[in-house]
Amino acid sequence: MSAWASDAFCASLVRLAPSSVAVYRRDLTAFVDWAGRCSLAGPAAVGRKDLRRYLAGLTRDGYAPRTVARKASVLRRYFRWAEQSGRCASDPCAGLSTPAGAARLPEVLSERSVERVLEGQSPAASGDPPLRRLRDDAVLELLYGSGLRVAELCALRPVDLDLPGARIRVTGKGGKQRLLPLSAPAVRAVQRYFEAHRAAARAGEAAMPGASPGSDGHLFRNQRGRPLSPRDVRRILDRRAPEPTHPHALRHTFATHLLDGGADLRSVQELLGHESVGTTQVYTHVSRRRLRAVIESAHPRG
């Protein structure tokens, strides 16, 4: 593996989330293992034909086009880095084409499903301790009410909130900040969460560890007193959702419900923190699909 310098390559991915770096490492390791079986000792020994043979083999093995495209993207980035760092004379990925794969539309919850998630009607959530339930209420109202990414929510601190002004400051990808409106239910949910902490402190009770309104720490913490993680958020949704879903679906649902309600695409782009309107445009397809389903089910001539 030393000839491939996998550790050095992964260390260079400073702008990626740890979960993304793990995917890059896994995909690169799979290619290195294949290259070893083909007697390719390092990046300098790899040619474009080798890469085409590898990707064609993945397709024959039944990998989905999107997975093949992702693995090709990892190799493009790796070999670009290998060329820049002097580990190969030229980039064998130059001009390499791969199947793009069929685009998947984002998962969107119905309004009724969202209500059930926010109200915590599932049996799994019914036995939650009061303070944890209030924390979960606030977490889910923020995810759906402001369309936050899960990582953005986990990074929130009390100083980011302006409850009287119903606003929140969010740090997104690349450290870029944006100021977002808070929904009235989200303001109420966060206020109730804060009030419960203060009441527990006055009573001298052993409350679940968490931030207080004047704290500079994280806004949300788990049962062990650590900052809430994306995995913790997934567990919250697992307890509350009537059917299997994932936290990012609440962001998808936020965007789609806005467009269904008549919001313009540029406004949704700004709220989501997308650099390109093209990224936001996928939600117009979802919105049209939903409207078409409504027409077909409800209109006499649908």
Active site residues: 149, 173, 248, 251, 274, 283
Q: What one-letter code names the amino acid at 133?
A: R
Q: What one-letter code names the amino acid at 64?
A: A
Report whether 85 contacts 43 (CB < 8 A).
no
Distance CA 97, CA 89 (A): 21
Q: What are phi and psi of 171, to 5 degrees?
A: -105, 115
Distance CA 258, CA 250 (A): 12
- Tell me which residue of 55, 27, 210, 243 sits closest to 133, measured CA to CA: 210
Buried b (16+ CB within 10 A) or exposed e, 97-120: ebeeeeeeeeebbeeebbebbbeb
Q: Which residues 6+ apart lie within 8 Å of 78 measured at CB?
A: 9, 24, 28, 43
Q: What one-letter code names the amino acid at 191?
A: Q
Sign of the torsion formed by the C-alpha atoms of 128, 132, 137 and 139: negative
Q: What one-letter code names the amino acid at 7?
A: D
Distance CA 239, CA 123 (A): 8
Q: Is 162 left (phi over 0), alpha (psi -120 to 50) or beta?
A: beta
> What stretches of 41-166 adopt beta strand conformation (E)?
161-162
Sign of the torsion formed by the C-alpha atoms of 156, 160, 163 and 167: negative
